[in-house]
Structure 1
Amino acid sequence: MRDDVVPVKSAFTYTPGCVAALEASLSAERLGTYLRKSKGNREQAIRLHIWNTAVSAAFYGPLQCLEITLRNAMHARLSEAYGLTWYDDPSGILDHGTHTRIAGAREDLKRDGYPDDPPHVVAALPFGFWIMLLGAGGRMTAGGKANYEMTIWRKAGFRVFRHSRVTRKAAHKPLNYLRTLRNRIAHHEPIIDRHLAADYASIQQVMAWMAPDIGLWMDHHSRVAELLAFSPDSPDLTF
């Protein structure tokens, strides 16, 4: 066989025993989501589960690109405004929830034996943390309410989205919605009820606001459009 020829797998045969084993392994509750979509057809439900898994995998790369671009840009701009260890909050701008998440990230680093330094702290903070910094700001530890519009957005955040004139609220909205997509994928949950084409368009839009060249690179290597065009009923779909 030539090295450049990829063998095509034959369609998988779903015997009654295989379907029963898959149902037991996936759990009746989990498969129930797909059964409802498939009107009780177990083989179609399993194919829909495969499609969900394949599309979730396809979204992993673009979501990773979005998250890393956002966190590194936010860290760079906040470092310019408040210093490299801005998360120590010497200016007293961060709300209680933000402090809690930073403390949790540092505890995780300590437990796992990693250095407590800016590269590791930044990498340990989750996607939702950075999106939270684009919110309005919540209750301060010492009382009162943080004003992220003034202390984060106008000082640093707007520069993250330098290729647009987007407002803080407009930047926050699609990212917060994409956060739920990322979390569902990370927890192996169904995403079939979401408007996935719109989700991908949101990723493309936010990347264009932040780093259009990286967005084009991301889109070139993405399989999302290909998978969304693939019928969930296809016997040839793999993950």
Structure 2
Amino acid sequence: MPSRQTLIAITNHLHPARLGTYTSRCSNDPLRALELYRWNLELSAAFQQVLAVTEVALRNAIDGQLQLWNASQPHHTGSGAQHTHEWLSDPARPLNSLTKGSRVRARDHAQDALTARDAGHPRHGVAPTHDDVLTQLTFGVWTKLLPTSDTSDRNFRGREVLWKDALQHAFPHRKGDPDGYGVASRTARLHALRNRVSHMEPLLDVHVKARHNDALRLLGAMSPEVRDWCSGISRVIEVDRNCPINR
């Protein structure tokens, strides 16, 4: 059991405002609040593992289909030329407008990573590749490319076109989701969860089983094998069972 001095030090360094959420759930008992905070850290770590697998799989599945689609699109100049598979540097419509700001930021971050490499790095001085830029795109980018049921969304038509012509093929094992709204909704919920986890926010009101299921269903829509592997290594449900309070 931590001493009073230790409790004071932890509270001061983690800040009372951060611990206040946990304290209020534990009838102002500082020891129970600290245990609940520790549990939240464990749940965040467990979710981070699942989210990491989901994000990488999602990114690569979408990238693969966008490369194929982009290379099949005629250039908007009407010259008869085709776009290349390099959709991050030569995007066809409507992908160009849907990703403009994101692509610029990703290229800048990839260039910053290049500049930061020391002389001994095996890729020192090597210009950023497609994959380098791709890995700099955030989870949120994919939520804005997937379809939406909101017809007032200014990109509604562009997102619908991308889904029908390209992105639906990134999820060949989805069931009963022809418009992609199920895939899009799960992706949006996981994006929100990822932000909470990354910012070390409380997960006390998160529907843990539902979000875990979102990740597994999204993975299953891409690859049942990856879903089963991720499910096998996931600790989310086990950690959730060990929550020190009733939620």
Structure showing greater relative contact order (alpha-carbon pairs closer than 8 Å, 6 or more residues apart): 1
Per the alignment, residue 22 of structure 1 pairs with 10
Matched residue of 1:164: which SS?
coil
Deviating 4+ runs (over 6 angstroms): none
Structure 2 residue identity aligned to 1:159: H
Superimposed CA distance per residue, residues 30-64 of structure 1 (whole angstroms, 9 cap, x where no aligned partner): 00110111121111111000000001101111101
Contact 1:109 1:116 survives alignment (8 Å) = yes
Per the alignment, residue 220 of structure 1 pairs with 232
Structure 1 residue identity aligned to 2:160: E
Per the alignment, residue 139 of structure 2 pairs with 127
Q: How many angstroms apart in 2 are the aligned matches of 1:17 and 1:90?
A: 59
Question: Matches of residues 141-156 of structure 1 in structure 2 within 5 Å?
Answer: 147-150=158-161, 152-156=162-166
The yes-or-no answer on 1:169 pairing with 2:181 is yes
Per the alignment, residue 6 of structure 1 pairs with none
Contact 1:171 1:206 survives alignment (8 Å) = yes
Per the alignment, residue 4 of structure 1 pairs with none
Q: How many angstroms apart in 1 are the aligned matches of 2:64 and 2:241?
A: 38
Deviation at 1:90, TM superposition (A): 4.0
Superimposed CA distance per residue, residues 118-146 of structure 1 (whole angstroms, 9 cap, x where no aligned partner): 11111111111112110449657xxxx75
Structure 2 residue identity aligned to 1:163: H
Per the alignment, residue 205 of structure 1 pairs with 217
Matched residue pairs, number?
216
Contact 1:110 1:116 survives alignment (8 Å) = yes
Per the alignment, residue 237 of structure 1 pairs with none
Q: CA 1:121–1:207 in 2, change beyond 3 Å: closer, same or farther?
A: same
Deviation at 1:229, TM superposition (A): 1.2
Task: Give ranges in structure 2 of 5+ residues lacking alignment.
Answer: 72-84, 115-125
Deviation at 1:88, TM superposition (A): 2.9
Per the alignment, residue 94 of structure 2 pairs with 93
Per the alignment, residue 46 of structure 2 pairs with 58
Q: How many angstroms apart in 1 are the aligned matches of 2:218 and 2:100?
A: 26
Structure 2 residue identity aligned to 1:104: R
Superimposed CA distance per residue, residues 62-83 of structure 1 (whole angstroms, 9 cap, x where no aligned partner): 1011101100000001111113
Q: How many angstroms apart in 1 are the aligned matches of 2:70 and 2:11?
A: 54
Task: Give ranges in structure 1 of 5+ residues lacking alignment.
Answer: 1-12, 234-239
Superimposed CA distance per residue, residues 154-194 of structure 1 (whole angstroms, 9 cap, x where no aligned partner): 11111111002423221111110111111111111111111
Superimposed CA distance per residue, residues 182-213 of structure 1 (whole angstroms, 9 cap, x where no aligned partner): 11111111111111111101111111111110
Q: Which of the residues 191, 194, 198 maps onto 1:186?
A: 198
* TM-score computed with the length of structure 2 as normaliser: 0.82
Moved more, 84-93 or 49-58: 84-93
Contact 1:95 1:139 survives alignment (8 Å) = no
Moved more, 173-182 or 106-115: 106-115
* TM-score computed with the length of structure 1 as normaliser: 0.84
